[in-house]
Amino acid sequence: MEPPAHHLADLIELHRGLPREGPGDAAFARELLRSLPPLPAQPRIADLGCGSGAGALLLAEHFRVPVRAVDTAAVLLDELRERAAARGLAHLITPVLADMGALDWPPASLDVLWSEGAAYSLGFEQALTRWRALLADGGVAVVSEMTWFTETPPAAARDFWATAYPTLGTEAQNLRRVQRAGFKLIDMRRLPAACWWTSYYGPLRERIAQLAPGTVDPAVLRETAEEIALFEAHSDAYGYVFYVLAAA
């Protein structure tokens, strides 16, 4: 999950033009948004680790208010600009080229803090700890995180993630991290495995099949194929969980 620096350009090239850079799903997210507790009429919103903006665009469409979209990858923010313009949402999207772990925004400056498939790059607990002060009372943080669904994962999955993401936790472990970071849980939803295929791995597989040889480092393609095969075999043992949080 956490790419060595020399892989980053290949990973970005691999994902170029895809609807998203990590597991997630528009219909799933819309349903989650409809279930949120009442928020201010004009909520202040940010999508942290937005990539090319799957979440930011959906948030802008849903709330019809400005959305700050933060990422360190300028090329993905450029893609977001193009997608926002194509969907008539450019006036609502503010791309921010910045480290989401070191935002100098004032305390309590967000009513909706959204982050899909990105907290892992800081570590789930570290990300939550750094973001806590940004969330206003009465606001919500929606943060997705890869999570074990079992205390006893199959050896193949355990070994793969022990290297790729050693702090991968169970739901119980992550709830303790949530509390230590100063949040309380409002809701917790597992992203159905089918969404991984329709919205992420499916398009990613097609892209890999169409890539001209030499475009992306073969080692990155092999690692990606391994990750996809692992999920195909063991999606009952792990997946993404959307943690819906409020300030404790």
Summarize the chain as % helix, strand, coil (round to 5).
45, 20, 30
Closest approach, Cβ 80 to ligand SAM, in A, equals 10
Beta strands in the chain (DSSP E): 45-48, 67-71, 93-97, 110-115, 135-148, 169-170, 183-190, 238-247
Helix (H) or strand (E) holding 124: helix 124-131
**The binder of ligand SAM chosen from 10, 116, 125, 145 (CB under 6 A):** 116
Which residue in 109, 121, 126, 170 binds ligand SAM (CB under 6 A)? 121
Q: Residue 200 CB, nearest distance to ligand SAM (Å)?
A: 8
Spatial separation of the C-alpha atoms in residues 125 and 162, rounded to whole Å: 17
Query: Shortest distance, CB of residue 151 to ligand SAM, whole angstroms?
Result: 26
Please state, in angstroms and rounded to a whole number, the distance separating the CA atoms of residues 138 and 204: 37
Closest by CA position to 152, among listed 236, 209, 230:
236
CB of 21 to ligand SAM, least distance (A): 4
Spatial contact of 93 and 56, defined as CB atoms under 8 Å apart: yes
* Alpha-carbon distances, residue 58 vs 84, 104, 125, 136, 175 (angstroms): 10, 25, 25, 21, 26
Residue 133 or 179: which CB sits closer to ligand SAM?
133
By CB under 6 A, residue 29 contacts ligand SAM? no
Among 43, 51, 123, 169, contact with ligand SAM (rule: CB under 6 A): 51
* Rounded Cα gap, residues 38 and 96, in angstroms: 27
Compute the least distance from the CB of residue 58 to ligand SAM, in Å: 10
User: Are 238 and 157 in contact, with CB atoms under 8 Å apart?
Assistant: yes
Does residue number 95 form part of the binding site for ligand SAM (CB under 6 A)?
Answer: no
Please select the residue that binds ligand SAM; options are 28, 29, 55, 177, rule is CB under 6 A. 55
Q: β-pairing, 45-48 with 67-71? A: parallel
Question: Which residue in the set 22, 123, 169, 239 belongs to the binding site for ligand SAM (CB under 6 A)?
Answer: 22
Nearer to ligand SAM by Cβ, of 102 and 212: the residue is 102
Relative to beta strand 110-115, strand 135-148 is: parallel
Q: Amino acid letter at 246?
A: A
Q: How many residues bind ligand SAM (CB under 6 A)?
A: 21
Rank residues 119 and 178 by Cβ distance to ligand SAM and give the closer one: 119
- Exactly one of 95, 101, 123, 139 binds ligand SAM (CB under 6 A); that residue is 101
Which of these, 114, 141, 135, lies nearest to 58 by C-alpha position?
114
Can residue 117 be called a binding residue for ligand SAM (CB under 6 A)? yes
63-82 binders of ligand SAM (CB under 6 A): 70-73, 76
What residue ranges bind ligand SAM (CB under 6 A)? 20-22, 24, 49-51, 54-55, 70-73, 76, 99-101, 116-118, 121
